[in-house]
Structure 1
Amino acid sequence: MKKSIMALVLTGSFAATPVMADTIAGVYVGAQGWRSATDGGFADNNNTANFNLSDETQSSGYVAFEHPVPLVPNIKLNYTSLDTQGNTQLDAGFTFDGDLYTADSEVYTGIDLNSTDIILYYELFDNDLVSFDLGINGKYVDGVLNVREESTATRGATDFSGVIPMAYSRVQVGLPFTGLGAYAEGSYLSFDDHTFSDYQLALTYSFIESLAVDMTLQLGYRSVEMDIEDLDGVYADLSYDGAFAGLELHF
């Protein structure tokens, strides 16, 4: 029931580094809970509506594998949910799925959206204080949009999806022997009529550092913005932002 988007993203970032830089293969597994506020809307032309959308708790999870083999990139997979819904009294009309929704009508809106990042990257440098990664990100976006007018029961639904090649980068900073650090990670694309950005900033604290596993808490802010023009017949201008908390394990 779902299709696909494509985009190109450039990211800059800061993250807490372990006390010692990795010299052998390592696996990072993380999960985040993200309380996001959502603004914007969609339509089947560039006259997008502006909906009242509810704040939601989104989920995000990732796994990354790093190794010391030259020229072979490291890999990271990241999944994020971007679901929301709301009820709106329209201040202007718009069309969706072939139907006209007039000004002042009451409509229910549902957005079922998720993204999966497939990132291949290199560590350009990595030490106790700072590390910097650069690579390519293939973002797969998969979504379903729903609208229902309360008075007439007129309803429409459209699904879309796609894989988008993007640039990726990451910078990490930390205070050795304290477990404290900070990071920022982001992506940006502006290609043809599509614009897409995804970044996060956070403070981190590594409360367990051992030969078997490191455990790090994350507390930060994330923002996702997308301006889509005629993707599978979908026009959307949506932004998500809010605070998140997470936990990362490093094996």
Structure 2
Amino acid sequence: MKKTALAAAILAMAPVAAQADLLFTVGAKASVWNAEATGQLDKNVSVEKDGLNLDSDNGNQLTVFFEHPLPFIPNVKLKQTALEVDGNGTINATFADQYFNEAVATKLDLAHTDLTLYWGLPLPLPYIDINFGLTARQFDGSASVSGTTAGTKSVDLDLTLPMAYGEVKVGTPFGIYAAADVNYIGFGDNKITDMSATLGYDLPIPVVDIALEGGYRSLSLQTDSSDVDIDADMDIKGAFFGASLSLGF
């Protein structure tokens, strides 16, 4: 009798689980990214202590997304990153065709917006999600170096690039989950690799899904001045902490 009751309960829950997978979902994520820059900006101008001496700083990451069960139509994610790092150092080098041999103040704005269209693989595994798609990334930033003698020289970091996108998320019955995603493009001497690893916990709250998240993001940027305004070979990386909220209907 107990076996029959258990089987009936499982069968009764099956349609509910199937329906849960078919919910439309809207959500948002917000986090603070403590990022530090290493490498070179404009050929041989170091951004580290032996050059521009850029400080680590906190940037903001804000994401909104919409997911649905409709076949062939992509899910949509919009992510905006606001990150500005400053520094005070001393250089003996040329930046943007201006020679500096003095103490300088630098401001590097790496603000960018991602529009991602993605699809999920239909895996028969309840706690594993794999997504793939394309990202259009628009950089809307700048870099400026100022010295008392040489004055101020600025360049825009404005460009839009298509990037390949992939994500893997592994959940557990206990609310703990891990995720990793990557955006990548390489053409000629230009390459951007943007990777994030996340560990989160879904709070036991009914109706809406609220989670606390932490992780590490690494943005590797290599550009050629023949294609963009300036040469760059930098890594911007650091830990982030935030929260997410989603609602199915």
Fold in common (TM above 0.5): yes
Q: What's the TM-score, normalizing by structure 2? A: 0.84
In the alignment, structure 1 residue 213 sits paired with structure 2 residue 194: no
In the alignment, structure 1 residue 124 sits paired with structure 2 residue 85: no
The one-letter code matched in structure 1 to 2:118 is: Y
Q: Deviations over 1:176-205 (max 9, x none)?
A: 2x1011111122222111111111112110
Q: Deviations over 1:50-109 (max 9, x none)?
A: 42101101100101100111110001000112210101122x41232x31113xx21111
Pairing 1:137-148 to 2, within 5 Å after superposition: 137-148=135-146
Query: Which of the residues 174, 178, 186 maps onto 1:182?
Result: 178
The alignment-based identity, stated in percent, is 31
Q: Which residue does the alignment assign to 2:160? A: 163
Aligned pairs, number: 224
**Structure 2 stretches lacking a partner, 5+ long:** 1-16
Q: What's the TM-score, normalizing by structure 1? A: 0.83
> In 2 relative to 1, CA 224–69 (structure 1 residues): closer, same or farther, beyond 3 Å?
same
Q: Which residue does the alignment assign to 2:106? A: 109
More helix by share: 2
> In 2 relative to 1, CA 189–35 (structure 1 residues): closer, same or farther, beyond 3 Å?
same
- Alpha-carbon distance in 1 for matches of 2:236, 2:46: 16
Q: Deviations over 1:30-62 (max 9, x none)?
A: 00111111223422xx34444210110110010
**Contact residue 198 and residue 213 of structure 2 kept, 8 A:** yes
- Alpha-carbon distance in 1 for matches of 2:88, 2:135: 35
Pairing 1:1-251 to 2, within 5 Å after superposition: 22-43=21-42, 46-50=43-47, 51-90=52-91, 92-96=92-96, 98-102=97-101, 105-125=102-122, 127-150=125-148, 152=149, 154-176=151-173, 178-210=174-206, 212-230=207-225, 231-251=227-247
**Contact residue 80 and residue 115 of structure 1 kept, 8 A:** yes
Runs in 1 of length 4+ with deviation above 4 angstroms? none
Q: Deviations over 1:1-42 (max 9, x none)?
A: xxxxxxxxxxxxxxxxxx986312101210011111122342
- Alpha-carbon distance in 2 for matches of 1:107, 1:40: 17
**Contact residue 58 and residue 83 of structure 2 kept, 8 A:** no
User: How far did residue 209 of structure 1 move?
Assistant: 4.3
- Alpha-carbon distance in 2 for matches of 1:110, 1:247: 29
**Contact residue 123 and residue 132 of structure 1 kept, 8 A:** yes
**Contact residue 208 and residue 216 of structure 1 kept, 8 A:** no
The one-letter code matched in structure 1 to 2:95 is: T
Q: Secondary structure at the match of 2:220?
A: strand
**Structure 1 stretches lacking a partner, 5+ long:** 1-18
Q: Secondary structure at the match of 1:72?
A: coil
- Alpha-carbon distance in 2 for matches of 1:226, 1:83: 15
